[in-house]
Structures are given as C-alpha cells and as structure tokens.
Amino acid sequence: MIDIAIIGAGPAGMTAAIYGKRAGLNVCVFEAELCGGQMIYTPEIENYPGTGKLSGAELSLNMRAQMIDLGAELVEDRVTAVREENGIYRISTFGGEYESRTIIIANGAKRRKLGVPGEEKYSGRGVSYCAVCDGSLYKGKTAVVVGGGNTAAEDALYLANICEKVYLVHRREELRAEKHLARAVLDSDKVEKILGATPVAVIGDKKVTAIELEINGVKRTVETDAIFVCIGLQPENGIFADIAELDAAGYIVAGADCRTSRAGLFAAGDTRTTALRQVITAASDGAVAATNADRYIKENY
C-alpha cells in the first residue's frame, strides 16, 4: 500500500515526494511525460532563490535526482482514473492498478491553444508551444511569439538570440509580463512588437508561412517560419471531476493548506485554485501537501 501517491512530477510533485520520503513514508510519483512539468520549458529560472543561473531543465533534473536518491518510486505512466473506496484511493494507469492512503494531485496545467484555423494542422510544422525545445530549428529565420505574459516575454528574448527576426504579437497595448521582462522586450530592437493584434489564422503550405492578425478590424498578414504560442495555461483535471471539486476554470478547489473537500486528497501547485503560479509556489505547495498528508496518515492509520 502506498502512503502518498503523487500525480505529476513538476516542482510541486517532486517537492511533495522529497518531504514524504523524509517523513519516512512510502511515496510513489506518477508521471507520464518528463519530470519537471512547465519548468522544463523555461530557459532560465531567475526567481527561485539560491539557484543562480540555471535552466528549468537543469532544476528539474536536480529535483528528480533528489527525490529518487531519497527513495521515491517513479512510475512513468499516465494516470487514467482515480476513485475512492472506504477511505482507500485506487489509481488506474495504462499499465496497472495501485492503492494509496492519500493522493496529492500535482499535475500542473498545460499550455493553452489559440484555437484558430491552421493551428492544429501546423502544430509541429511551425506551430510550437516551447521555445526552448524548438527554437534552435529556426536559427537565422523568422519567428512570431504570441502572448503578453512572462512566458511570451522570456521566449521572445530567448528567440531573439537565435532567430534573424522575432515579432511579439499581443492582443492588448500593454504587456502583462513582470516589469523587468516587459521592459527588456520593449527595449529590444531585435523584437518587433505588434500590439493590439489578435491572431485569426495560421497560414502555410507544407509548413507555416505566415500568421494572419486582426488589428482594429483590419487584417494583416505577417510572414514567418514559426509561431510560438505563449498564451497561458489551462488545467487538465477532467479525470478528477468525480472526486474533487473544480472551479469554473477547471482548477481543483483547495486552499493554502492544499486540502481538498475530500479527506486524504490534496492538490498542490498550478492545478489548485491559487493567485500565484510559480516554481517556488508550486514547490511550497508540495511541502505543505506532503506534510498534511503525513498528518492525515498519522491520525487515521
């Protein structure tokens, strides 16, 4: 029997595993993709204290090594269903069935899609959701980054060092990104800003050739080799809808103590209702959730 089953190995899940193992518990982490979650896509983590200049991928590997060294079991499989019977949680994956006393849902959130014609067709053929992963394919070429948040700003600056030309397309006149990032983008003469512009279509032949925008009701076509979509995150909590309360946006309702409305079920990191979604807040949630799961186990078993 698992003590804490952790669904998702981003900073929340991996920190929860570290805390769970240090509490002497039997911890199992389920991850269908690479450990690290959204952190993997960040070229440089600038606001996690003490790491210095470190990429998100490096921080992910460090956290992974730490939880494995402490003895957490990593199951590289996708969780397909979770149910609770008489206080025991049953977890189904493609490859097996597991039982656990508690669950910490730490599955994060996925990159939001634009939902315009051509986006899906050209996904992987010019449309990308990860500048760190795909940026080098466009060395010396043109790239459009869509979005006005931290991710879009960071990715535009990252691509400016690789591509010949970078456009930042944002639907409003002001960027949402933190001040220093927004300033760096606005000051960069390598990044051409197209503000007040809404993407309406991705155009291509075998691969992306352009993006069509609407600016004040007027269409404009910008030729490009790549389109990096950086328009935020969206939770994927459909499989938990029967056991956890979700808010209107699909996030799991849980407070700062990471407790959900169901005993023994916790939610940590980007997946829960919270005002701030950062690596450090996810890691903090992981610590809180594992500590409260430990308390729950001590009180009930």
> Does position 259 bind ligand NAP by CB under 6 A?
no
Contacts to ligand NAP from residues 20-49, by CB under 6 A: 42, 46-47
> Does position 151 bind ligand NAP by CB under 6 A?
yes
Say how far apart CA 261 and CA 253 lie, in whole Å. Answer: 8
> Does position 154 bind ligand NAP by CB under 6 A?
yes
Please choose, out of 6-14, 122-130, 146-154, 291-299, the segment that lies near ligand NAP by the rule CB under 6 A.
146-154
> Does position 233 bind ligand NAP by CB under 6 A?
yes
Smaller CB separation from ligand NAP, 114 or 156: 114
Question: Smallest distance, Å, CB 119 to ligand NAP?
Answer: 11
Asked if residues 193 and 168 have their Cβ atoms less than 8 Å apart, the reply is yes
Using alpha carbons, select from 146, 201, 203, 216 the residue that is nearest to residue 175.
146
> Does position 277 bind ligand NAP by CB under 6 A?
yes
**Which residues lie closer than 8 Å to 277 by C-beta, 6 or more apart?**
109, 233, 269, 270
> Does position 114 bind ligand NAP by CB under 6 A?
yes
Question: Smallest distance, Å, CB 112 to ligand NAP?
Answer: 6
Asked if 130 is an active-site residue, the reply is yes
Q: Which residue in 69, 133, 242, 257 is the catalytic one?
A: 133
Say how far apart CA 251 and CA 258 lie, in whole Å. Answer: 12
Which of 105, 231, 254, 268 is the binder for ligand NAP (CB under 6 A)? Answer: 231
Q: What x/- string results for residues 73 through 92 when contact with ligand NAP is judged by CB under 6 A?
A: --------------------
Asked if 133 is an active-site residue, the reply is yes
Using alpha carbons, select from 92, 71, 97, 66 the residue that is nearest to residue 81.
92
Asked if residues 119 and 113 have their Cβ atoms less than 8 Å apart, the reply is yes
Say how far apart CA 243 and CA 245 lie, in whole Å. Answer: 7
> Does position 250 bind ligand NAP by CB under 6 A?
no
Give the count of beta carbons closer than 10 Å to the beta carbon of residue 277: 18
Asked if 270 is an active-site residue, the reply is no
Which of 232, 239, 245, 273 is the binder for ligand NAP (CB under 6 A)? Answer: 232
What is the three-class DSSP state of 211?
strand
Question: Smallest distance, Å, CB 13 to ligand NAP?
Answer: 17
Smaller CB separation from ligand NAP, 4 or 132: 132
Using alpha carbons, select from 258, 253, 255 the residue that is nearest to residue 268.
258
Say how far apart CA 166 and CA 153 lie, in whole Å. Answer: 11
Q: Spell out the alpha helix ranges (H) of the chain.
A: 11-22, 56-69, 131-134, 150-160, 179-187, 279-300
Smaller CB separation from ligand NAP, 203 or 230: 230
Using alpha carbons, select from 87, 76, 104, 111 the residue that is nearest to residue 15.
104
Smaller CB separation from ligand NAP, 122 or 296: 122
Q: Shortest Cβ contact with ligand NAP: which residue?
A: 149
> Does position 269 bind ligand NAP by CB under 6 A?
no
> Does position 118 bind ligand NAP by CB under 6 A?
no
Q: Which two tokens stand for residue 275?
A: 């005002």
Residues with catalytic function: 130, 133-134
Please report, as ranges, the residues that interact with ligand NAP according to CB under 6 A. 42, 46-47, 112, 114, 146-152, 154, 171-172, 176, 230-233, 277-278
